[in-house]
Structure 1
């Protein structure tokens, strides 16, 4: 059972208090002492004791017609019961709907918005179960525990839209009058400017819901892209005549609220909302150069208009994100298109942060700067290379002009055990100090574009063994800096593997890595990685040792002490050693001591279309190891399922004297979705 989240409780308390304080001309008892006791009991994990006090407040508040405290105590009751009572959300919905029956403006709209949120929270808590339902409930069914996702979201939608009635009255109620109740963090003081009225609050809550994918569940029909006619300046947008269709509700809400702020000339609220509107429209348009350029043009126009206001940072941040997205699509093989877009994003953010370092979006801009300028590099090399022969590797790099490399030889078995535990920076710092087999540095071009680039490096020939190749942007390979490493084997040995599940065996061919010829008399040692509960770590245990024959071939039985497992192996001959790449997975069954029934089903084709007939034939056998017997006169149940694993139709069949059966299903015209 999940508890009612704190953020929901707070929003319920704050929002419902708004409306009733508006109507309270006389100062009412706030029960500060009592509520402190309630909060302390909650902190101690005593919800039932806290509920007793909340209920006593409710009785007094009800008698004195102290509506804010009545509702506050009701909300506390719901929250506290959520910690120990089943179906607390259904109970909460019932309580709020009872209160709604006699509510007037603005309590009515607040309750409607909150009921929408309660229904949404109920859906989100039970999503996995609700989404698995078909439309079980009749249209008049009041038991929401039987509602499907479509009906629940239709109710959520209904309440959010209803909460926006009486718009003119709600526009006259300023939120700032209730700062003590809002308890807005000092860092979020701009909230009053962004949502100056109660209508702003309710409309934004509705917009937030309709921007989710859940809202679409109440609308039958497929999603489609928006028209680019909505990607226009705000004064043009509010003049567009919207179609009366369900899929344009969010645009209508943006239009209604933007119209209010244009008339009121509320710069901060208008710009914040318009940026969200532009972003919403752009994200729902066809992604092409034309729409991207229009979006950039609109953002640049806004940035020039509000260059001397702190809101400039918010515009700059969104504009930089668009340039960053374009820059991330740069393809060196396709020329210079998008190559310099990251520079534009970086420059825009730096101007914004320098101008208004304390603005709300300044940190977001700084994070973009940090991301664009982050140093990254890495090598792509083969896991194994031939001894005493130089080889090439690819180096990817970004925002770095010099790199340092060091190759050190390490004990493969010790490294394997350490890697199982965790290869942290401290362990790497120890390895990197080992005597270097080879070290060098490379100067890289200063591309000045913040893009990923690549070049090839020549690695000198190395003797047989296991190595770590370190790369760093500092000459001392400081563990606090950018330090990368790649494991590398140098060996003439290579191998091919094959596992046979039926025979519960594993086959191995060892070959010369350069010539491809078989390598005989190679010692093969198998290992298994196991978890030690007491030590809370993984360790490697040796299993068996084998040797390849004159053809470099080895066939071994898989272990039989577990239902399924995996293992690694090492190859060794004449000082040349190699560990397998990753784990070899093995599967096997426990020895059958009884017959098990198995059905083999065959269809006349692989792919079917809606309305077609699926002809099938089946054979039922009893199987114990390699002993197989047909199963005549055996009853078989068959079900045709849709993609949601719901039964579409079913058949009952009985096998004939040969243990077989046949039949047909017709796929519905609507398919199996």
Structure 2
């Protein structure tokens, strides 16, 4: 198993604050951490939120972005508990937080948002699978969306996150330890944040539900395509299709970029 987003980030869940070493800039002192954990344990979201907000502000001040993203997820979870705990409202709050977040945080937050949408879909799959498309374009209310609409939304957030590839490729995945649960394989399999986000997107593109929103001119891989050829041939392959939104094509292009990115790596695990 490779790394995954922590439960607090994937679900916007209310979890105990992880204590960082005192030498880490932006880390709260022991008394503050204890007070926050105590408020959470006692089910006092308003008190916990009052304690958490200065901790988040401090993390932002010291540019401790991994911790700030996790704290933002906890903040949204606490606000949700106070105001009714509706998952769709947590998504709206995260979108608002992304809009005002430092640009360095936004790509990863977009990936988190994609995961929140995906989790919301999985919890309400039957609604989306049974809903038929209408002539009117869907509005902003996620509860009224059909299957193609929510899949397109998730894809859009992964695409936005991956558009920052130059930034993400420079960040070792280990720098985001506060945000990511360690798996049982070494980080050489996903050495950078770009690798992590790319494989999150690839997992989404491979989901069986994608078949429910295929276009009439949907692109299909053929047995004689370069996907089964040499690395050089595959990387140079330019897919020709009229299906501009094909998740298969997007997956092919992501694999091409990943292979090109790691082509000269000494360790070829990635």
TM-score by length of 1: 0.33
Does 2:258 align with 1:264?
no
User: How far is the alpha carbon of 1:148 from its aligned partner?
Assistant: 1.3
- What residue number does 1:492 align with? none
- What residue number does 1:122 align with? 120
Q: CA–CA distance in 1 between the matches of 2:202 and 2:121?
A: 18
| 1:180-195 paired onto structure 2 within 5 Å | 182=180, 184=182, 188=184, 190=186, 192-195=187-190
- What residue number does 2:94 align with? 96
Aligned length: 246
Distance 1:143 1:163, change over 3 A: same
**Conserved? CA contact 1:113–1:163, under 8 Å:** yes
Q: CA–CA distance in 1 between the matches of 2:200 and 2:108?
A: 11
Describe the superposition over 1:421-477 as per-residue Cα deviations: whole angstroms up to 9, x where unpaired.
Answer: xxxxxxxxxxxxxxxxxxxxxxxxxxxxxxxxxxxxxxxxxxxxxxxxxxxxxxxxx
- What residue number does 1:9 align with? 8
Describe the superposition over 1:19-58 as per-residue Cα deviations: whole angstroms up to 9, x where unpaired.
Answer: xxxxxxx92233554344444555x5x43x1452233221
Describe the superposition over 1:388-409 as per-residue Cα deviations: whole angstroms up to 9, x where unpaired.
Answer: xxxxxxxxxxxxxxxxxxxxxx
**Conserved? CA contact 2:59–2:68, under 8 Å:** no
Does 2:240 align with 1:239?
no
Q: CA–CA distance in 2 between the matches of 1:121 and 1:133?
A: 18
Q: CA–CA distance in 1 between the matches of 2:141 and 2:134?
A: 11
- What residue number does 2:152 align with? 154
- What residue number does 1:196 align with? 191
Describe the superposition over 1:527-554 as per-residue Cα deviations: whole angstroms up to 9, x where unpaired.
Answer: xxxxxxxxxxxxxxxxxxxxxxxxxxxx
> For structure 2, which runs of at least 5 residues remain unmatched after alignment?
13-23
Partner SS for 2:269: helix
- What residue number does 1:621 align with? none
User: How far is the alpha carbon of 1:93 from its aligned partner?
Assistant: 1.1
User: How far is the alpha carbon of 1:89 from its aligned partner?
Assistant: 1.7
Describe the superposition over 1:194-232 as per-residue Cα deviations: whole angstroms up to 9, x where unpaired.
Answer: 111111111111111001022344442376752222112
Q: CA–CA distance in 1 between the matches of 2:228 and 2:89?
A: 44
**Conserved? CA contact 1:57–1:70, under 8 Å:** no
| 1:511-530 paired onto structure 2 within 5 Å | none
Q: CA–CA distance in 2 between the matches of 1:197 and 1:70?
A: 19
**Conserved? CA contact 2:172–2:191, under 8 Å:** yes
**Conserved? CA contact 2:189–2:269, under 8 Å:** yes
User: How far is the alpha carbon of 1:85 from its aligned partner?
Assistant: 6.0
Distance 1:65 1:241, change over 3 A: closer
Distance 1:34 1:221, change over 3 A: farther
CA-based RMSD of the aligned residues comes to: 3.2
| 1:430-509 paired onto structure 2 within 5 Å | none
User: How far is the alpha carbon of 1:261 from its aligned partner?
Assistant: 0.8
User: How far is the alpha carbon of 1:94 from its aligned partner?
Assistant: 1.2
Q: CA–CA distance in 2 between the matches of 1:198 and 1:259?
A: 16
Larger strand fraction of residues = 1
**Conserved? CA contact 2:36–2:48, under 8 Å:** yes
Q: CA–CA distance in 2 between the matches of 1:70 and 1:97?
A: 15
Larger helix fraction of residues = 2
Q: CA–CA distance in 2 between the matches of 1:124 and 1:91?
A: 16
Q: CA–CA distance in 2 between the matches of 1:31 and 1:70?
A: 16
User: How far is the alpha carbon of 1:153 from its aligned partner?
Assistant: 0.9
- What residue number does 1:134 align with? 132
Q: CA–CA distance in 2 between the matches of 1:137 and 1:111?
A: 32
| 1:381-400 paired onto structure 2 within 5 Å | none
Q: CA–CA distance in 2 between the matches of 1:127 and 1:183?
A: 26
Distance 1:77 1:180, change over 3 A: closer
Q: CA–CA distance in 2 between the matches of 1:181 and 1:135?
A: 37
Distance 1:10 1:60, change over 3 A: closer
Distance 1:183 1:213, change over 3 A: closer
> For structure 1, which runs of at least 5 residues remain unmatched after alignment?
1-5, 14-25, 270-673
Distance 1:70 1:32, change over 3 A: farther
User: How far is the alpha carbon of 1:152 from its aligned partner?
Assistant: 0.9
Q: CA–CA distance in 2 between the matches of 1:193 and 1:143?
A: 40
User: How far is the alpha carbon of 1:183 from its aligned partner?
Assistant: 5.3
User: How far is the alpha carbon of 1:137 from its aligned partner?
Assistant: 8.5
Partner SS for 2:114: helix
- What residue number does 2:18 align with? none
Q: CA–CA distance in 2 between the matches of 1:57 and 1:85?
A: 17
**Conserved? CA contact 2:10–2:116, under 8 Å:** no
TM-score by length of 2: 0.75
Partner SS for 2:264: helix
